[in-house]
Amino acid sequence: MPTQQPDDYKKRESGHRTEAEIVEMYDGACRAKTPEEARFWHKEVWMDWCYEHPDLEANVCQDMARKAICYWAGYFNHEVRLRVEKLYAEQHPVFGPATRGPIDPTQALLMGLAPEGDAFPWPRRPPPWPAEP
């Protein structure tokens, strides 16, 4: 049972967010430039995690929200990743800290296909192509 939700948490009447709303939320979080903007977007993502995962405690949802924002930042350029990781005090859950340097597309693919490790917080799905014999 969750211990505490954000103060202004309200269960959405309309159900789950649409794909467009999710993109808008994570893009907004990655485009934040100030700590105030980051707090606003973190709260939006945090509340979404609380809604989508009512079995998790609020502090777990907070942590997952930060990780999810930094994961989304991996689709942006290196400068955005650096800024996002600093604003949200978190690192990309697969690539690690952006301070190590940029990740090229080949590295990103190989890291994404690597066997599940401690850094990857979500269950892996098998690739959409058949395994080689």
Asked if the structure places residue 47 within a domain, the reply is: yes
Q: Residue 11: inside a domain, yes or no?
A: no
3 located within any domain = no
Give residue-wise pLDDT tens across range 18-71. 888 888 999 999 999 999 999 999 998 888 888 888 888 888 888 988 999 999
Question: How confident is the model at residue 133, as a pLDDT?
Answer: 55
Predicted pLDDT at 128: 52
Question: Is 69 contained in some domain?
Answer: yes
Residue 102 lies in domain: 19-113
The pLDDT, as a whole number, for residue 6 is 47
In 3-state terms, what secondary structure has residue 101?
coil
Predicted TM-score (pTM) of the model is 0.73
Output the pLDDT for position 15. 59
Within-domain flag for 5: no
Let me know how long the chain is. 133
Mean of all residue pLDDT scores within the chain:
79
Q: Return the percentage of the chain with pLDDT > 90, whole number.
A: 37
Give the span between the Cα atoms of 82 and 35, in whole angstroms: 14
Dihedrals φ, ψ of 56, to 5°?
-90, 150
Does 78 reside within a domain?
yes
What pLDDT, on a 0 to 100 scale, did the predictor assign at position 10?
Answer: 47
The total domain count for the chain is 1
Q: Please check the confidence at residue 78 and state whether its pLDDT lies above 80.
A: yes
Asked if the structure places residue 55 within a domain, the reply is: yes
Give the per-residue pLDDT at 88: 95
Q: Is residue 89 part of a domain?
A: yes
Report how many helices (DSSP H) and strands (DSSP E) the chain contains, helices first: 5, 0
